[in-house]
Structure 1
Amino acid sequence: MPLFVDLDGTLIKTDLLIESAFFLLKKQPWMLLLVLYWLLLGRARLKAEIAHRAQLDFEVLPLQQEFVAFLQQQAQAGRSLYLATASDRSLAEPVANRLGFFKGVLASDGQHNLKGKRKLEAILTSVHDAPFDYAGNAHVDLEIWAKARRAIIVNPSGGLVAAAKKRRYVVQQVFDDRPPTIKTWLRAFRVHQWAKNVLLGVPILTAHAFTVTAIADTVTAFLAFGLVASATYLLNDLLDLVSDRHHPRKCKRPFAAGDINLLSGIFAMVALFAAGFSLAVQLTDTFLFTLLGYLCLTISYSFYFKRVVLIDVLLLASLYTIRIAAGAFAIDVTLSSWLLGFSMFLFLSLALVKRCTELLAMQRLERLSMKGRDYHVADYGVLSAMGVAAGYLSILVLALFISTPETLGRYSLPVVLWLLCPLMAYWVSRLWLKTARGEMHDDPLMFSLKDQASWIVFINMMMVTLVAI
């Protein structure tokens, strides 16, 4: 009994058309202007044009491992397996060749879009109307199961299993290896990264603006930045599917691992952007424009600058500093140039920690360079030197700030602020020591939030500042 297997969402935990479109968006965004024209020529033509311009890495596509193991057993038992997909043939055949147990491939070819009824017709033609089984994952597969002897359902869309059983289809087996939905979405949104938005509250502390209105506006700004940042994380992950799958840790991200449907990710991204900016318009115009600037910088980083050596870390440092500026604009207080200088040097140091950590990870994997980045393992020495220097420069700026007449007049006990310098020196030095030992997470801020010594430093710095006020 031949078994026909769907590709997108069934054999692999992703959608090759959407992956190809994001690859094109990242590498040749101007080509997407032709999408409407290609679509007018038919969906099959659209798929072919996008597929022929994409350069996907088929060796790292996320497979439904439990289902693949089942197919291998079926093939070893002598069963005839065929790949039947609406994806373009140029994408389907490399996947079939990778696995090696398919006897044939039925796929779209630029003229015929092999989906639903057309796929069923192609299957019936290939088996000469003989009985067959079919494995799929979507509601569009129901009309194929209507003619199949048995149904195999893999990572089903909502209500699919119930719909198949309601129609009295014979469901042979259901494979589902997807992790819990809410937990997976929270990982995709990177809610833990919202901790970085605490930087929005720094101007309240430095300006001594402890009013109910200022606190409420800061909370609103925190939420707006968090929602927009989560949307940009989704966009970044969708653009970086190939490089993430080659990364020892990022390969486990929900989109790279195939734990979340790519189309759902697009809808979620749009919803997060809308929610974030609906909150931003309730604050000052300056804050709104700052959030727009943050979004533009983040998108430019995702599309291009993350692959440009040194510019990427400078831009990362700027994205942190913008949060502090946005916090000042949200509560309408004057932004301190000293604070901007301090944060720029400090976050440049942290951005370099991130890159150095990634280079050490590549070194352990015996790779010479980072995929998707213009860095080589040999760059570690000079990058670490720049990072340590930037960290100490932030302490120098802090010391100069403490000694200014403005600070002396603003704080009742300004001399106490000098205790911040040794605390900062210890923290920066410890981060770089951990990095050199290979004990650093590739996100130093996340490392600090889980690090007991860092918390002791932060609490002491907060106490020193409050005493000085």
Structure 2
Amino acid sequence: MSEETLSTLTHPRCTAPVTAAAVPLCVDLDGTLVLTDTLVEGMLALVTHRKLWWCLAGLSSGRAMFKQRVAEAAALDVSLLPLNQDLLAYLHTQKAAGRTLVLATAADSAVAHAVADHLGLFDEVIASDGHDNLKGAAKAAALVRRFGERGFAYAGDSPSDVAIWQKAQRAILVNTGSRLSAQLRDKLPIEAEFGSQADRLRPLLQAMRPHQWVKNLLVFVPIFTAHALTEWAAWSGALLMFVAFCATASGIYLGNDLMDLAADRRHPRKRLRPFARGALPPQQGVAYAALLVCLGAIAGWLAGSPPIILIYAALSMTYSLHLKQQPLADVFTLAALYTIRLVGGGEASGHALSLWLLAFSTFLFLSLALMKRVQELLALRVSRIARRGYMTGDEAILQMFGCASAFAASVVLALFVQSETAMRQYRSPALLWAIVPVVLFWQCRLWLSTARGYMRDDPILYAARDWVSWLVAGLSAVLLVAAQSITLTGL
């Protein structure tokens, strides 16, 4: 194809023909070429490594200097960034036709050049350099100086790009949203469009992990153990605490995913999470996380137990930022987070936990936390789990810890059955003995499933979908009711 030959380059969303000798195509980075914001990701990485405050000092020298300091300190692995595959395919087509491609971004020059080097597509890079922040009108002025007014086409995604499109010959719209797209179609020749802003609700709900809310049903356990099933005040308080834990946990999950972006993108399964794959922008994730944690605090206050929610949130965030990387400290923290749900339910319902329930749950939850780590090690089989403190040789000792903790929980349950507390609370405490082997069987079965590689999720989520676990729960409930209501003679 000669440079003078006019040829239409077909693309399903092209609205105007493009020539091989067309004006240079300038492409935005954040939200356009990559489905994320590299500055926000860099800041999140610095929060994880506790370096953000050093970079914030650069704000006094301007936004461009701040970006440069974040880029230097964060050192993002650009090969992991989620790319807009439709736009990327279009750029390959344009490159093959001989068109000049320019990466024009407000991101720092170091990040922009790293992306350009990784893709090997761009002939030139125009980016912020520590002195000039090339966003909006500043980027438009830089492109006009380089190519002249109407001497370039521009691919962008946000309202801040309108000032650039006004100086461009052609516009390429990338995830701009229906309203902005309609406004631009009336004013500019549109070369191509790549989707509109996708529905954020579904990926947001996915990132909130509502399936994890099953863990928060633990807040209702104190009502059952206190035999207070007819106390509606207890149920209303526990329900508010359930809402508080659900909102707070979802906010923490969002924050945890934002902190784990690089690690999740290396994971064979977690790379499909909304933030990791670019279905949700990280800046929205930060806002939603803060909102959910605030809603959780309000619900906890209405339930009469705000300190419980605050402790849960603080411990969860400490876990995400630091304790997750500490061997053994991480599993003890996970066990504590389970136990806090029980404590919160007891406080909100007015039925505080007995020491027996606290001892049993502590060993049980520690076993389940160890099970979660063992299944991760067995699934990945790598020298070290990213952002974890374990290595592949550790699964044997962790399995031993977990099984020992499972048996310890059953021992505590057995001791409770013959305690004076059980004698006072149940008409026939001897019936409770049957629960001991049932619970021990259930825990041994979970550990066997883990060792065989069947445990693909959090153990509680696995149990929620496991018919044997439901059978164990049902049988235990029947035995509890029978021990409470039936009087056996001769025992």
Q: Normalized against structure 2, the TM-score is what?
A: 0.91
- What's the offset of the Cα at 1:33? 6.2
Equivalent position of 1:76 in the other structure:
96
- What's the offset of the Cα at 1:333? 2.0
8 A contact 2:370–2:399 mirrored in 1: yes
Question: Structure 2 matches for 1:24-173, cutoff 5 A?
Answer: 24-29=46-51, 31-32=52-53, 35=56, 37-129=57-149, 131-157=151-177, 159-165=179-185, 167-173=186-192
- What's the offset of the Cα at 1:160? 2.2
2:433 alignment partner, one of 397, 414, 418: 418
8 A contact 1:199–1:324 mirrored in 2: yes
Q: Deviations over 1:101-132 (max 9, x none)?
A: 11111110111000001111111222244522
- What's the offset of the Cα at 1:158? 6.3
Equivalent position of 1:12 in the other structure:
34
Q: Which residue identity is paired with 1:8?
A: D
Equivalent position of 2:293 in the other structure:
273
Correspondence 1:403 to 2:421 = no
The 3-state SS of whatever aligns with 2:103 is strand
CA distance in structure 2 between the partners assigned to 1:158 and 1:88 by the alignment: 29
CA distance in structure 2 between the partners assigned to 1:394 and 1:151 by the alignment: 65
Structure 1's 264 and 157: CA in aligned 2 closer, same or farther, altered over 3 A? farther
- Consecutive unaligned residues of structure 2, counting only runs of 5 or more, are 1-22, 485-491
For this pair of structures, how many residues does the alignment match?
461
The 3-state SS of whatever aligns with 1:383 is helix
CA distance in structure 2 between the partners assigned to 1:89 and 1:410 by the alignment: 70
Equivalent position of 1:435 in the other structure:
450
1:176 alignment partner, one of 161, 181, 195: 195
8 A contact 1:356–1:380 mirrored in 2: yes
Per mean C-alpha deviation after superposition, the further-off stretch among 117-126 and 211-220 is: 117-126
2:43 alignment partner, one of 21, 46, 49: 21
- What's the offset of the Cα at 1:300? 0.8
CA distance in structure 1 between the partners assigned to 2:178 and 2:423 by the alignment: 63
Q: Which residue identity is paired with 2:475?
A: N
- Consecutive unaligned residues of structure 1, counting only runs of 5 or more, are none
8 A contact 1:133–1:148 mirrored in 2: yes
Structure 1's 158 and 347: CA in aligned 2 closer, same or farther, altered over 3 A? farther
Equivalent position of 2:461 in the other structure:
446
- Overall identity of the aligned pairs, in %: 41
Q: Which residue identity is paired with 2:251?
A: A
Per mean C-alpha deviation after superposition, the further-off stretch among 311-320 and 58-67 is: 58-67
- What's the offset of the Cα at 1:332? 2.2
CA distance in structure 2 between the partners assigned to 1:177 and 1:362 by the alignment: 36
8 A contact 1:353–1:442 mirrored in 2: no
Correspondence 1:343 to 2:361 = yes
CA distance in structure 2 between the partners assigned to 1:251 and 1:25 by the alignment: 21
CA distance in structure 1 between the partners assigned to 2:71 and 2:366 by the alignment: 39
Q: Which residue identity is paired with 1:184?
A: P
Structure 1's 11 and 34: CA in aligned 2 closer, same or farther, altered over 3 A? closer
Per mean C-alpha deviation after superposition, the further-off stretch among 122-131 and 393-402 is: 122-131
2:347 alignment partner, one of 329, 343, 350: 329
The 3-state SS of whatever aligns with 1:256 is helix
Equivalent position of 1:186 in the other structure:
205
- What's the offset of the Cα at 1:370? 0.7
CA distance in structure 2 between the partners assigned to 1:398 and 1:169 by the alignment: 73
Q: Which residue identity is paired with 2:179?
A: G
Correspondence 1:383 to 2:398 = yes
CA distance in structure 1 between the partners assigned to 2:392 and 2:429 by the alignment: 44
The 3-state SS of whatever aligns with 2:132 is coil
CA distance in structure 1 between the partners assigned to 2:308 and 2:44 by the alignment: 27
Q: Deviations over 1:257-292 (max 9, x none)?
A: 1111111111111211221111111233xx211211
The 3-state SS of whatever aligns with 1:259 is coil
Q: Which has the larger radius of gyration?
A: 2
8 A contact 1:362–1:369 mirrored in 2: no
- What's the offset of the Cα at 1:302? 0.8
CA distance in structure 2 between the partners assigned to 1:158 and 1:15 by the alignment: 21
Correspondence 1:319 to 2:341 = no
Q: Which residue identity is paired with 2:264?
A: D
Q: Which residue identity is paired with 1:393?
A: A
Equivalent position of 1:462 in the other structure:
477
Q: Which residue identity is paired with 1:260?
A: L
CA distance in structure 2 between the partners assigned to 1:130 and 1:325 by the alignment: 66
The 3-state SS of whatever aligns with 1:244 is helix
Q: Deviations over 1:400-430 (max 9, x none)?
A: 1111111111012222212211221221111
Equivalent position of 2:270 in the other structure:
250
Q: Normalized against structure 1, the TM-score is what?
A: 0.95
The 3-state SS of whatever aligns with 2:385 is coil
The 3-state SS of whatever aligns with 1:83 is strand
CA distance in structure 1 between the partners assigned to 2:362 and 2:35 by the alignment: 40
8 A contact 1:64–1:177 mirrored in 2: no
Q: Deviations over 1:44-99 (max 9, x none)?
A: 11111221111211111111112111111211221111111111111111111110
Q: Which residue identity is paired with 1:426?
A: F
The 3-state SS of whatever aligns with 2:126 is strand
Q: Which residue identity is paired with 2:153?
A: D
CA distance in structure 2 between the partners assigned to 1:444 and 1:176 by the alignment: 39
Q: Which residue identity is paired with 2:383?
A: L
> In angstroms, what is the RMSD of aligned CA positions?
1.6
CA distance in structure 2 between the partners assigned to 1:454 and 1:172 by the alignment: 58
Q: Which residue identity is paired with 1:32?
A: W
The 3-state SS of whatever aligns with 2:34 is coil
The 3-state SS of whatever aligns with 2:277 is coil
Equivalent position of 1:371 in the other structure:
386
CA distance in structure 1 between the partners assigned to 2:278 and 2:175 by the alignment: 11
2:256 alignment partner, one of 211, 236, 239: 236
The 3-state SS of whatever aligns with 2:64 is helix
